[in-house]
Every structure is written in structure tokens, then in C-alpha cells.
Chains A and B, each alone.
Chain A
């Protein structure tokens, strides 16, 4: 006996990739109350272009509120991440192909634009001509990479494309030394020095040069791309892609041309990547081999996965989180605020009822002071260091956290113990979890102050990114805005 959906026409709309039962079940169980529920229902009630407008219109006002530098750091890079994420979303989100060479297409776009519009060859093409050429060229490259890969399933495709990405980096790193049979020696990519002096965009005679102008260019490109992808996803091809993602074998037996669709997804994704790469390269006024390596690839994957594969709004949300959180971590003071703030908010939101929450916080504070007092009495060296924090955080931290005079070795051991403690916490439940959480959080604060805060611009951000990916996959494999899928056996 199947519960019929309430709307009689609901069964008419094809919903490939959504299990009807799961959708209905989630609707019943996942209905939220209060403010989050209101926002969720309001969001779902909006028509697609209303959603786009809700995102884009406030974003268009941002340059009025921010300085040029902040705009570049927070807003422009977020938009570029979102643009790159949109292309990856076609390949990974819509059609479910694991393309680990994606970032090479972005790099190809940037280098291609650099070759057409920089001092390297003395070409200075207009952007309205150069960008389509680069986009099409990248799409063709995507097609070529896809050709040998179309026979590959899942993970084989991943490894071939990963190697392709590596090959791209090796190639651009060394292409200044290649001699071609007919043309002789040509310095194509500037080798390890990269292509500097890429022209700013020159659109129909209008020079885009300031950060603000680039922001608007990227925002318009984002709006156009999202609209185009929305229609692509709702089209026949989009439905076929989703069918392919869900079950290639079933799709093929339904006469869906699987190989052609795979190639199309590859070419489309590569085209978007080339388009983004061209704008990105001109914004950065250069293209360098190291920029298009695994680091950026994982970042863009994090954008798509965090937001929820296959969801356009998810890509935007993922880009905001993935770009802005590490940017905040760049400054030590903001990083500390963010660190303690996130812990505090999580405790307040997750520990219920409020009496328990208050007791927990009291226990945490008390535990810290107790440990500090004992250490102060027994081994004064353990508390003789100074906090790197400034402002109002400095006093409380020095009074509460253990700051050894020579933190290096102790902090290294504390880091390893902290990881073990966090893993232990995930295995416990109920009061045991809370009890172990108290020393764990204290240890986390100690590791943060002694080890992590000094590296916020480098290793710390990436460690947190990696941990975030693992934690998110464990907690919500479908991403923040994605829909859960059920494997039907």
C-alpha cells in the first residue's frame, strides 16, 4: 500500500534521482519548527528566479559596504569558487562522474586567455572574442580527455583524470623548454615563472580593472551560469544525466545514450571551467603552475560536496563557507574569535536542557582553572608562556590555558592526544561523552593557543578543511542542501 502524495499532479512531474518514499518521509520527519522552519518553507515557496534574486540582489549591494581589499578577499574569491563549483557540479553533481582533473581545465582557461591576451606573444584580444574562444577550446579539451575515459567506470575515471591534472601541471611547468617540429622553440607558458601581465578584461571597449568592476563581472557571470544550469538541469539532458548518475546500467537499458551523455557532461563542465579560468586569470593578472594544483581542486570539491552535490544553491553556500571561513582564519585575532565562538555556539545549541548546558560550561571553566592552578603550583614552567592573542582575549586565555614556556614538543604531543580524544568522543554517548568532552575541549584550547594559532595562514586552515570534509561525510553524506539518496538493492 503506497501513500499517494497529496498533490494529485505530483506524480506527473518527473523527479529522477529522488526516491518518492524518501522524499515523502523526509517531508514528514524533517519538518522544522521555529525560525529555521520558517526560512526553509519561505525558501521552498520562492520560484527559482526568486531564489536567484534573493541571492544576487543583496550581493550586488556588497561593494557599497566593503573596502576594496575586503571585497577581493571575501566576495570576489567566493564568486570565483562558486563559478568553478558550478562547472564541477555538472560533472560530479548532475552526472555523477568523478573528475579529479577538473582544475586543469580551469588552468587551461587561464593560460589560454593569457596566451590570447598578454605580453607573452603580444596578442591583445578583446575579451568578448577571447573568452568564447577559450571556452570552446576548453570544452574540446574536455571532450578529448573524456574520449578515452568514457569506457571507464567510477574510480578508474578518477585516477585517469587525477593523472591528467598532474600532467597539466608538469606540462605548464616545463612547456618553456619544448621545441616543436615546425615552429622551433616556443615559450608557451612561461614555465615555472608562469604567465605574468595578463591583460585586464576588455569587454566591448570597456576596460574592467578595479576589484569592484571584477566583482560585478563575476556576479553577472554567476547569475547567467546559474540560470543556464537551472534550465540544463530541468531539460531532457539534465534528467538523463541524473538517470546516469543514479544507475548507469538501468539508464542504458532505457536507451539513454550513456557514452554521449558522459562526454557531454565532461565537455560542458570543462567549458564552464575554461570560462571561469579566463576571467580568473585576468583578475589575477597572471597564471602560475602552482595555482592549478591539487590544493585548489580539493577546495572546489569541498565547495560542491559541502553545499550538496547537484544543488545549485548548495554550490553558492559552499563557496561562501569554504572561502570566508579560512579567510577569517588568516588573522590570528579573528581566527581565535571564530574558534572559541564556534565551540561556544555549538555547545549552546547542542547541549540540552539549559541546566545541563550551564553545568557543562561551568565544569569546563572550572576544570580549566583547576588544571591551571595545579600546573602553576607543581610545574611553573607549564604556565610561564605568553598568549599570542591580543585584545580582550589575552587576559582570560593566559589565566585559563596552559601556556608552556617552550611549547613545541608539548604541543606536538598534545595535538596527537587531542586527535585521539576527539575520536574517543565520537564513540561515546550520553553523560560519558559530556564528561570526556570537558578535558577534550580544554586540550583543544591548549593546542590551539600553543600550536595551531601560529599557523593559521598555512597548515591549520588545511587541517581544519580536511577534518571538516571527513566530519561532514560522516554526519551528512549528501551535503548541507543536498537530498539524501537511497540505494535500492
Chain B
């Protein structure tokens, strides 16, 4: 067995998996609280990548940034996360909140509309050409050797960044008052409202957090893969949702696990399976079907008990 190839695939799988996990968290939290499949989430991620790009170029560009390279990177993350968070809140406020009591299909269609709108607005405003992050100019080309494994700086940054964000999220959900309110709302929205929880505000907060994570994932994608474009949100959103479903939708550790699983799976499929680079999505799809058939509630999800 070629161990060097295996470790390279593992590293790229973990990188990809971190991105998917961050996207999946947004999906999972929104689904857990609203039972809504937020199709526009992938496009929020795309907008996040563009916001990071604009922040980078607003600060002097990758070759001669106005401040230190690491400060620029941090500001890119900050801009994308804040911008996407606000975008998510606005989307919820105008496209989903009026439909909260409508039949289930209405907010889904509304979400499809938002997705279409965001994607084509990006096409209109940013053009169809790819934009380059030039992250090598920004944070260096230095690759590290660990044994005979190569690690590029953006990859390390992505994995560590994702872990930090996930720990922060877990703490927010587990330890703070608003996290408690989120858990209560996702458990039973009506009962939570009767207990004096401002459900609208909790939902807005959920959208803010989920979209901010997607924005961070967008910037990470730009740093790792270099190129961003207006259509990148669709397939990433699909993978993110797959990750959420595989891990067990509504469960935060499940989304993390699912994201890593999908990323690793995709990476290994590319490396080992026949025609893997072409059909990687089909392999992911096959695993999704298998997981749903064996454990419909996902790996870490709890089967919902339906009360009548």
C-alpha cells in the first residue's frame, strides 16, 4: 500500500471535510429549529467567499497588503462571517418568517427562489469569471513535512479554524442562555414560546450563527483552492446537506462527523475507486442512500418519536 498517497488523501479529505462540516452545521441547526431545508445556505457560503475576496482586495490585495498578512486573513474571516450572518438574518426575516405557518412546501420554494436570486445576483455583480484568492502570495507557499506528508498552510489553517469554530459553537449551545433557548426552541417551538422565550429572536440568532459559519467556510475554500465563482455554492450546499443527513440532521456533533465522513469519502473515492474523480459525487450519493436505508435518522441522530 502506498502510504504517502493515503496520507495525502487523508489530509485533503480532512480539509474538505472541515468545510463540509461547517456548512452542514448551518443546515443542521436551521433544520433542527425550523424543520426547513434552507436551499439558499450554499449560496450564502458562496457570498461569503466573495466577501472575503473583497475584504482582501479592499485591504490592498494579496501581494502588498496594507497590514500584516495574518491580520488581513483574520479580517477576511471577520468580514465574511459578519456579512453572511447579517445576510442570513435578512433572508430569514423576509423569505421564511412570513411563511412560518404556511404549508411545508411554501418555504422550500421560497428558499429555492432565494438561492436562484443570490446565485444570479452574484453572476450579475461579480461576473462569470473565476476570481483568484492568491493565497500563496498572502500566507506563503511553505509546505511542511511531517514524515513524508505535505501540509500546506491554508490546509492547516482550515482544519484548525474549523475545530476552533466548532468548539466555540458547542460551548455557545451548551453553556449560554441563548444556546439553552435554541435547544428549547428546536425541541418544541410552541412550548418554548409559552415559557417566555422570544422564538423569533432565537431563530434569527440561529440563522446568524449558521450563516456566519458558512461564510467562514467560503473564505477557507478560497484560501485552500484559490478560485471562487458564482456557482460554487450549489454543489457545496448539496454536500453539506448530505453531511448533515449522514451525521443525523439536527445534531451538532452529527454534522461535524458527517462533514468529515463525506470529505474523507470523497477524497478516498478520488484516489482509490475506478474513475473516482469523475464519479466521486455518485459514490457519495450511494453512501447517503445506504446510510438513510440503514439508519434513517443518521449516524448520531435520535429517531424522532411522532406524537399524534
Contact = CB atoms under 8 A, between A and B. Distances in A.
B308 interface: yes
Interface in A152-176: 152, 154-156, 158-160, 162-164, 166-167, 170-171, 174
Interface residues of B, number: 50
Interface stretch (B10-18, B58-66, B105-113, B160-168): B105-113
B103 to A, nearest CB: 6
A174 B282 CA distance: 12
A159 B278 contact: no
B124 A469 contact: no
A148 B289 contact: yes
A463 B281 contact: no
Interface stretch (B92-100, B199-207, B216-224, B263-271): B92-100
Given A159-B242, A469-B116, A485-B103, A415 B124 contact: yes
Contacts of B94: 423, 426, 470, 474
Contacts of B293: 148, 151
Nearest to B104: A154
B125 A159 contact: no
A357 interface: no
B143 interface: no
Contact of B306 (A166, A171, A249, A477): A249
Given A162-B238, A163-B242, A156 B296 contact: yes
A26 interface: no
Contacts, number: 137
B279 interface: yes
Contacts of A164: 285
Interface in B117-132: 117-121, 123-125
Interface residues of A, number: 53
Interface string A89-108: 00010001010000000000
Contacts of B35: 155
A469 B278 contact: no
Contact of A309 (B105, B113, B242): B105
* B113, B118, B120, most chain A CB atoms within 10 A: B113
Contacts of B37: 155, 158-159
Contacts of A156: 245, 292, 296
Contacts of B101: 487
A141 interface: no
B288 A470 contact: no
B278 A470 contact: no
Nearest to B285: A163
Nearest to B31: A155
B281 A160 contact: no
A164 B288 CA distance: 11
A103 B86 CA distance: 34
Contacts of A455: 124
A451 B124 contact: yes
B114 interface: yes
Contacts of B235: 166
Contacts of A423: 90, 94
A477 B293 CA distance: 33
B144 to A, nearest CB: 35
A151 B285 CA distance: 17
Contacts of B278: 170, 174, 177
B129 to A, nearest CB: 14
A426 B278 CA distance: 46
Interface in A297-352: 298, 301, 305, 309
A441 B279 CA distance: 48
Given A159-B37, A470-B114, 13 more contacts: A151-B293, A155-B31, A158-B108, A159-B238, A159-B241, A177-B275, A305-B109, A459-B121, A462-B116, A467-B113, A470-B113, A473-B106, A473-B109
Interface of A: 92, 96, 98, 148, 151-152, 154-156, 158-160, 162-164, 166-167, 170-171, 174, 177, 249, 294, 298, 301, 305, 309, 412, 415-416, 419, 423, 426, 451-452, 455, 458-460, 462-463, 465-470, 473-474, 477-478, 485, 487
30 contacts: A92-B105, A98-B108, A148-B289, A148-B292, A159-B242, A160-B288, A163-B285, A164-B285, A166-B281, A167-B281, A170-B278, A170-B282, A171-B282, A294-B234, A298-B112, A298-B116, A419-B121, A462-B116, A465-B113, A467-B113, A469-B109, A469-B110, A470-B94, A470-B110, A470-B113, A473-B102, A473-B109, A474-B95, A477-B106, A478-B103
Closest 3 CB pairs of A and B: A469-B113, A466-B116, A466-B117
